[in-house]
Structure 1
């Protein structure tokens, strides 16, 4: 009883923190509109042209989508060849992951109301600002029930303008079977978000962190009815300290070469009693199959 009372007290203390709502992307949508014409003229872009500005100020990108991997470590594309960096209007703003030569999965809040012509994906590089290849997006397919209820069905698939050629640094990751349970293990999350709470600059090098899956019933103590069956949580529930947040949104949560989750949202970053919430891919696996054939 003492332990339960302590948990409830801590929940009351952190309840004043607002959700970092992953659904509000108006700044990015406006930027996408402005960038669409420029992007169309930029068809011949390659890794030697128009490299991203180093250490982009978060205010120059979209604050709503600027999150972090907290308590992680440097990684590489050789370890995670499915990881991609999404670029909008010259700035890294979300992650995604390759599921076939033609398709990339990301979070719906990253691309909702965004023109495909405004998006570029950097594949095959440990760095978010150079190397690898820049590829174009032909179409954006957002889950039709995204945000109903709020935060739910936070998933989208991007069809690429041209198929990828796989190599050691560019490769698809497997997906779980429909309704396959999320294992209660440590999942690996990757991305290029901030590495410290309150930081202002995003790293050049891919980071990764291992986050333990939180049982659904326990995560309900933190997020209540906002946590649906299409979601699961990951992080150190009581102490925080290791986390991804929505700036790494769209990136995968992986166990044994299978992507079980998509980074979606959280209350704060690496806070106690506020684990990261992931879209449960297995719950939406049939939707992915229907829209990609995979």
Structure 2
């Protein structure tokens, strides 16, 4: 090993050995006021920081019910920033949620804008999660629109949604479009929602279970009111048919309709969870109404 003594250290190595460790100032947290984003200046900020400020303001406006102000920022972000697909989906969905949240009726121009956004939204879908969120947003929007000619569109949208993911949170959206259903249909939907909710309660624990049980109590009370109304109209035979159709298929757990289905899991990989392509949607919708024939009556 004596040959190692022949090596000489370079100047760089000597400098490295003698170099002192830099001294940094003590760390101090940058604490923000709760609503720091409301008045903060966007000057001399990075593009990322500006977007963050804008999105905080959107959330704030949405929370306080100022949907017009939220829309203005979202439109500006969509027009003036370079968005990837995920960001574009987020902006479109947020714009539609603003329209859904408005208390006043939407104007004809607002309705046209929403329908264009839905078309853009649908063209960006790539996986199961995208499509579930799209269908939920679409259903809520259609339920808000005053035009009764959208009845079929709402029903078909809900059929796709509940075939794709039949969780209680999705089935209960039928209530938002109650104007599109008869009392008999709503009675059947309440019974089906109860069935799904019973399953979710059975597989829940703690405060989640307690919350679901409160929802079940509400739905049971609403079901009794509708049933009493139907009995006055002497439709016992139709009620029996609804009960028979709901009990004829044991699909609460095993089909893709279930939120806990082995085929569709909310947090599974995109390669496993497939959206329903447009070409297959008519068959899927037809299958849904075949399984729940009480919804085909008008």
TM over 0.5: no
Identify which of structures 1 and 2 has the higher relative contact order when contacts are C-alpha pairs closer than 8 Å and 6+ apart.
1
Q: Give the TM-score taking structure 1 as reference length.
A: 0.23
More strand per residue: 1
More helix per residue: 2
Q: Give the TM-score taking structure 2 as reference length.
A: 0.23
